[in-house]
Amino acid sequence: MSKRQASEALEDLSGLESPASKKSRFDDYNKSLTPISANENGDEQQEPARENGAANREEGQADEFSEEDEVEEKAPIRQAAPTAGYDDLYLDTIDRNVLDFDFEKLCSVTLSNINVYACLVCGKYFQGRGPKSHAYFHALEEDHHVFINMGTQKVYVLPEGYEVKSKSLDDIKYVSDPRYTPPEVAELDRKHRTSWTLAGKEYTPGFVGMNNIKENDYLNVVVQALSHVSPLRNLFLLGDFSSAPELVKRTSILFRKIWNPRAFKSHVSPHELLKKISLRSNKRFTLTAQSDPVEFLSWFLNHLHLGLGGSKTKPGSSPIQRIFQGKLKVESQAVTARADNLDRLRFEEAADAKVDVARFLLLTLDLPPAPLFQDEQERNIIPQVPLTTLLAKYNGVSAQDLNAQRRRYRLMHPLPPFLVLHVKRFSKNKFVAERNPTIVTFDPRGLDVSPYVEPDPAQHPPGEPVWYDLVANVVHEAVRAKEDVADSAVGEERKTWKVQVRDKATDEWVEAQDLFVDKIRSELLYLGESYLQVWERRTGTPPPPPGKGKGKARA
């Protein structure tokens, strides 16, 4: 229809048709987004676009102009696959330096942990990837387009919504969820391996720093020590805990990140595990308050035991008990007289002595009382005691008085593969909490515990030693917080913890305190206030005595 001239009357044009509605046409654009299908011969062809407006115009029918057509919302642009030739679009915007998958996977907007995606450009977490999700809006507002699903490890481009399958993203997927093979795990204690971070910093897998968010160094040292218990480490590195409780799952993830040989940074953060521990323990163990490592270790092992399918009544029902649990014979009787030189004989001849068999995950060692005064030569400023003297508590001869009961202890065969010792340094009364600074001297190689074990020919040949080697040593340090009051440094004493672990591949010792990791000589291990020790049972001959090397064989 031609345009009406100004001189023509409206009555003369009453029989003509109305012009077609002026709607935007996206025929060519929609045709380019149409999925590609293959015909019978295997050739790719485009499906014809089915637009109602175009079909009506072909039939000669006119589109009726209405207000609904004018305000009709258009569907968001979504693609099932990237456009041909643009497979690596937006991948150059990924910033690996800001990626940190150690924190709890919560949406930064809704704080939900369901269907969480991480933006690979800024590192923030968002929920979902649909047209109305927070990740979708983040892609439009911030122009960040690459996201990874924290559950499935699949990478998507938003707002288009198609999956990216590129080998260049494998390193990000591995850092997010490291996986190991049995041959790789078998080489951890045999072959020393050196790795480098994105910044070019050298580090050794398994000997990395752990972030102390505020006051969670008590957890760091326990996790570091347990991560070097070979059977437990191998279980968490190779096991599939997708259907396990959340505590076991997060422990496995942290262990796998500690031993990650392709990490972006030379440290890890226990934030994700800490949040779950705080929830399960009713905020008994948190990241803002200092706690006792032994109390946490006891709680942690018992809950891992239950999470791995262990029973409360059946011994050896979980890997935790099979690794750490041992048996202890306890003889007890009521105190009838004061202790004297013949008290031991009277204890043995008493008819009312009660004998029980108890099971333990760790052994407590009692320190002798610290001297109140220095001797003439000032040698007792910091007293020392050998570890074997403390272990005499379990020789079956020494008796202890506790709650009107006199008790004696002795270990029983079979001994656990790993022995955990707790040196009791702190005591509390109604008025004050005291710390015993006595130093415990020990040799990290070749601790013979046979004098403290009940003989059992069926389990172990009598007279032969039972050797244990030190794996980890948790040390306490007292730090005084400075407060400037009247130009003087005054403050309360704070507890800090560090751990010393042995590198079995090189037989060297490494000391870790939060983010600081450095080597330490084995001769200097006992100089600190040892608080918690993990010993591994060794089979074979004892190490040579100190200062004596291997001589040549005589002809």
User: What's the gap between Cα 130 and its chain centre?
Assistant: 31
pLDDT at 547: 45
Please return the burial class of 492, using the count of CB atoms within 10 Å of its CB with bins 0-12, 13-18 and 19+: exposed
Please give the span between the terminal C-alpha atoms of the chain, in angstroms, as a whole number. 121
| Domain 326-360+362-538, CATH among 3.20.20.20, 3.90.70.10, 3.40.50.1970, 3.40.50.460 | 3.90.70.10
Distance of CA 116 to the CA centre of its chain: 19
Write out the residue limits of the CATH 3.30.40.10 domain(s) in the chain.
91-175
The confidence score (pLDDT) of residue 485 equals: 47
pLDDT at 425 over 70: yes
The pLDDT value recorded for residue 312 is 86
Instruction: Count each helix (H run) and each strand (E run) in the chain, helices first.
Output: 14, 29
Contact present, 431 and 356 (Cβ < 8 Å): no
Ranges in the chain annotated CATH 3.90.70.10:
326-360+362-538
Tell me which DSSP letter residue 487 carries.
S
| Domain 91-175: CATH class, spelled out | alpha beta
- Summarised one tens digit per residue, pLDDT across range 358-398 is 999 999 999 988 777 665 555 557 888 999 999 999 998 88
Confidence of residue 555 (pLDDT cuts 50, 70, 90): very low
Whether residue 159 has a cis bond before it, omega within 30° of 0: yes
Nearest-angstrom CA–CA distance, 2 and 5 = 9
What pLDDT was estimated at residue 541? 54
Q: In the predicted model, what is the mean pLDDT of residues 451-462?
A: 90
DSSP conformational letter for 371? P
Top mean pLDDT of 64-78, 160-174, 227-241, 337-351 is at 227-241
Residues 6+ apart with CB under 8 A from 71: none
pLDDT, tens digit (0-9, with 9 covering 90-100), for 149-192: 999 999 999 888 889 988 999 999 999 999 999 999 999 999 88
Pairing of strands 116-119, 146-149: antiparallel
Cβ neighbourhood burial of 59 (10 Å; 0-12, 13-18, 19+): exposed
Report the alpha-carbon distance of residue 75 to residue 176 in Å, rounded.
34
Instruction: State both tokens at 215.
Output: 């006051």
- Range 520-549 average pLDDT: 77
Give the model's pLDDT for residue 497: 95
Residue pointed to by tokens 């190779």: 238
Tell me the pLDDT tens digit for each residue of 22-81.
Answer: 444 444 444 444 444 444 433 444 444 444 444 444 444 444 434 444 444 555 667 777
Q: Rounded distance, CA 359 to CA 411, Å? A: 10
Q: Taking 90 as the threshold, does the pLDDT of residue 530 lie above it?
A: yes
Say how far apart CA 502 and CA 509 lie, in whole Å: 4
pLDDT in tens, 119-132: 999 999 999 988 88
Secondary structure in 3-state letters for 500-537: EEEECCCCEEEEEECCEEEEECHHHHHHCEEEEEEEEE
Q: Tokens 């590198």 sit at which residue?
A: 503
> Percent of the chain, pLDDT > 90?
52
Alpha helices in 157-282 (DSSP H): 170-176, 182-186, 217-226, 230-238, 246-258, 271-280
pLDDT of residue 476: 93
For 275-306, write each residue's pLDDT tens digit: 999 999 999 999 989 999 999 999 999 999 99
DSSP for residue 207: B
- Quickly list DSSP for 120-147: TTT--EEE--STTSHHHHHHHHH---EE
User: Average pLDDT of 404-409?
Assistant: 85
DSSP 377: T
Q: How far is CA 99 from CA 264, 265, 372, 439, 453, in A?
A: 8, 10, 54, 43, 52
| 8 Å CB contact between 412 and 327 | yes
Q: Which residues pair with 512 in a beta bridge?
A: 499, 517
Q: State the Cα–Cα distance between residues 240 and 308, nearest whole angstrom.
A: 11
Among 466, 474, 399, residue whose Cα is nearest residue 440: 474
Measured distance CA(293)–CA(310) in Å, rounded: 23
| Tokens, residue 314 | 């059946």
**pLDDT at 548 > cutoff 50:** no
DSSP 275-300: HHHHHHTTTSS-SSS---HHHHHHHH
Q: Tell me, what DSSP letter sits at residue 98?
A: G
Indicate whether 345 pLDDT > 50: no
pLDDT score of 545 more than 70: no
Instruction: Quote the CA–CA distance of 511 and 533 in Å, as a whole number.
Output: 14
322 contact partners, CB below 8 Å, separation of at least 6: 231, 316, 417
| Per-residue pLDDT, 487 | 44
Q: What is the pLDDT of residue 34?
A: 43
